[in-house]
Structure 1
Amino acid sequence: MTGSPSRRRLWALVIGILLLGGGATAYTLRAAAHQPGGPGDTARTAADPGFTLDSGAPGALWFRDTGSGRVARQDPTAPGSREVGGPRCDRFHAAGPTALCLQLRPGIPARTYVIVLDRALRERQRMSLPGIPNRARVSASGQVLAWTTFVTGDSYNTATFATRTSILDLRTGYLIKSIEQIPLTLDGRRHHAPDVNYWGVSFAADDNRFYATVATQGRTHLVEGDLRKWSARALKENVECPSLSPDGARVAYKKKVSDDARAPWRLHVLDLATLREHPLAETRSVDDQAVWTGPDTVAYGYGAGTGSGVWSVPADGTGAPRLVAAGASSPVVLSPTTRR
């Protein structure tokens, strides 16, 4: 290239911009080419023949296998072994005749496939919604579903996150795309604020009452919601990702106990009648919505990537954490009513 040094620098800048633009375009085209939406979608959510909610021994632990990204099952009589045969999910939960699978879609901006599966883990319904998969819950009957996605940010431990929590009633097909507009009573008064975020829904046995976290004005609260009355009221501050016990009397949750961004939370259990709480024996900072694997035991995912695992701990605060499945997340134990 000939010309003055300034002209050569200008041409170099223009070429650089074109190359960068071309690279960005290529990335976008590659991402679009791999977007689910065709026959590949079914393959991503197809379970192996015979791998259903009816398979496996009673009390089996179901979870996401980290290595494959697929749903797996571990029978209680064979700890450490697993059968991997379910759909590929980033978050998974199941109860009754229904399973819920959240898949992160490739591409920018981030979107999530919300996939409803039947007892045979066959796809019944699919929706594409904004955000990154975060929480998934199915009511005990399998008829009401909830999920949360991060629509900005990717962690509850930042000042810039925003969530979207949806509820779907399979009996009517009614979808609440965001529960942010539910009338909220906080400190005895109706609360209005533009910064309200909900996440971590857990349903009661009646498919109407639910518990969730609401964040507003720098504080988090446990709320009790009523779908029929379309109302919610705050019960206690500093409660995140609640999980209702099988008897409906207690909530397991993560409580912020430190401003250290590396270890802000500790798992607790709350008695709903007295609002008294106690910490669990797990002292590490767990960023998960725990599940009850029995009347007196909770399980949760801890760690990331190949270092992830599902751990279990007694709900009364005694004992010690126990690794029940390495390389795993999104645990759930199906209730006897789920199985025929």
Structure 2
Amino acid sequence: MIHLPNRTARLLVLCVAVLLLGGVVAGVTLRAADRAAEKDRARADGPSVRSGEVTLGAAGRTVFRNMAWGPHRDEIASVADTDPTGPRTASGVRCLRFHSAAGTGICLQAVRGRLGDRYRAVVLDEHLRELRHYDLAGIPTRARVSPDGRTVAWTVFVSGDSYAGTAFSTRTSVADVRGGTLDADLEAYTLMLDGRPHRAADVNVWGVTFADDRRFYATVATGGQTYLVRGDRTDRTLTALHANVECPSLSPDGTRIAYKKRVEGVSSDAPWRLYVLDLRTLRETATAERRNVDDQAVWQDDRTLVYSLPGDYGSDLWTVPADGSGRAALVMKAALAPAYAGRH
């Protein structure tokens, strides 16, 4: 026979429930306090950041997205080339993705609204003043400027939010800075695969790196494979050159491509290693960086690659020789998307 609990038993159950709920709330509060304390420690231990003027392409200064906690997080900042761990100057201009060359910048921004965020690509002059902007169809992920600063490119996710899986779709656009003409979707170009035009519903293009105003390289995915492609804006073609290449970055001398390559025998959530491809011989060289690199690396010079890895602030910058020698080294904490004068 089942006995209904009496008033005392019901009160006891209620008290236990209140105590349990209080414990959960206290646990959540303590975890939030711990996270806040970690951020406070990071602010205290992190780089010095102050407001000031930032000029793109200024001699002796590296420009990048500041990731240090505080009021200047996500702002475009600069630091002395000779002291990358030294004081930073923050511009007040916030970007989710950024790149610059020859005094032109491309800044992919979030625009807050009552109905949610929307995104735009903003072309900046050397003083970070807006020249023009374009509405974006999705979440920003890659951005590049041509070496002479006349052409910009960006990639967004229009569905999905990670290159690690297969359920994503991208849109990559290229714009002429001076005339404002826009190739809104590089998937409209003719893709040449194995010497023949290739058309398929699953084609995705991302990660542009420029040789000049007309020629560029990018990643194309189709049929479960990725390819390095050479793009031609005049002919409106994408020509496949080499398989298993993602997020290419052309060396300043135009002879090599740094890229992330999927390798076998590692976690599917962390599948990429940093490689360099010789464009003349198509010979691949693994760099000394053995960790997963989910970034479009940049060339600091003809010998050195710079790329991001997760850190206490979200992202730190590391460097490694491009020829496979040496070892990876931390170059700057709390930083992302560096741009070096005259580099890709």
TM above 0.5, yes or no, is yes
Hey, what does 1:35 align to over in structure 2? none
2:86 maps to what in 1?
Answer: 81
Larger Rg: 2
Residues 304/179 of structure 1: CA separation in 2 closer, same or farther (3 Å cut): farther
Report the Cα distance in structure 1 between the residues aligned to 2:238 and 2:274, rounded to whole angstroms. Answer: 24
- Aligned mate of 2:74, from 69, 73, 87: 69
User: Structure 1 110/275 Cα, relative in aligned 2: closer, same or farther at 3 Å?
Assistant: farther
Q: 2:295 aligns with which of 288, 304, 312?
A: 288
Indicate the SS of the match to 1:77. Answer: coil
With 290-299 and 99-108 compared, the bigger mean Cα shift is at 99-108
Which of 218, 233, 244 is the equivalent residue of 2:250? 244
The offset of 1:54, in angstroms, is 5.1
Q: Match of 1:256, as an amino acid?
A: R
Q: Distance in 2 between matches of 1:82 and 1:183?
A: 47
Moved over 6 A (4+): none
Moved more, 79-88 or 294-303: 79-88
Contact 2:207-2:248 within 8 A present in 1 as well: yes
Matched, 1:52 2:55: yes
Indicate how the Cα distance of structure 1 residues 122 and 229 shifts in structure 2: closer, same or farther if over 3 A, else same.
same
Alpha carbons of structure 1 residues 129 and 203: separation in structure 2 relative to 1, 3 Å: same
* CA offset digits 1:229-266 (Å, max 9, x no partner): 11111000000000000011000000000362232000
TM-score (norm 2): 0.80
Correspondence for 1:134: 141
Aligned pair partner of 1:322 in 321, 326, 329: 329
Aligned to 2:184: 177
1:17-166 → structure 2 map (5 Å cutoff): 50-53=53-56, 55=58, 57-58=59-60, 60-67=61-68, 68-86=73-91, 87-106=93-112, 111-166=118-173
Alignment of 1:224-235 (within 5 A): 224-235=230-241
Distance across 2 between alignment mates of 1:79 and 1:331: 11
Deviation at 1:304?
Answer: 5.8
Residue 254 of structure 1 aligns with an amino acid whose one-letter code is: K
Q: Secondary structure at the match of 2:179?
A: coil
| Residue pair 1:66, 1:305 contacting (<8 A) in 2 also | no
Contact in 2 for aligned 1:110/1:131 (Cα 8 Å)? no
Corresponding residue of 1:39: none
* Contact 1:110–1:132 (Cα < 8 Å) also in 2: no
1:65–1:84 Cα contact (<8 Å) kept? no
Query: In structure 1, what residue type is equivalent to 2:214?
Result: N
Structure-2 change in CA distance of 1:109 and 1:305 (3 Å):
farther
Structure 2 counterpart of 1:63, one-letter code: F
- Alignment deviations for residues 185-227 of structure 1 (CA, whole Å, 9 cap, x no partner): 10121101001000000010x3111000000011000000111
Q: Which residue of 2 aligns with 1:36?
A: none
Q: Over aligned residues, Cα RMSD in angstroms?
A: 1.9
2:267 to 241, 260, 271: 260
Deviations 1:4-30 (A, max 9, x none): xxxxxxxxxxxxxxxxxxxxxxxxxxx
- Residue 141 of structure 1: SS of its match in structure 2? coil
Deviation at 1:141, TM superposition (A): 0.5
Aligned residue for 1:180, secondary structure, equals helix
SS in 2 for 1:281: coil
What is the identity, as a one-letter code, of the residue corresponding to 1:310?
L
What displacement does 1:104 show? 2.6
| TM-score, with structure 1 as normaliser | 0.81
Runs of 5+ consecutive residues of structure 1 not aligned to the other structure:
1-46
Within 1, Cα distance between the matches of 2:240 and 2:117? 31
Equivalent pair of 1:61/1:333 in contact (CA under 8 Å): yes
- Secondary structure, in 3 states, of the residue corresponding to 2:76? strand
**Aligned residues: percent identity?**
50
Equivalenced residue count is 288
Q: Which runs of 5+ in 2 are unaligned?
A: 1-49
Tell me the distance in 2 between the aligned counterparts of 1:237 and 1:109: 38
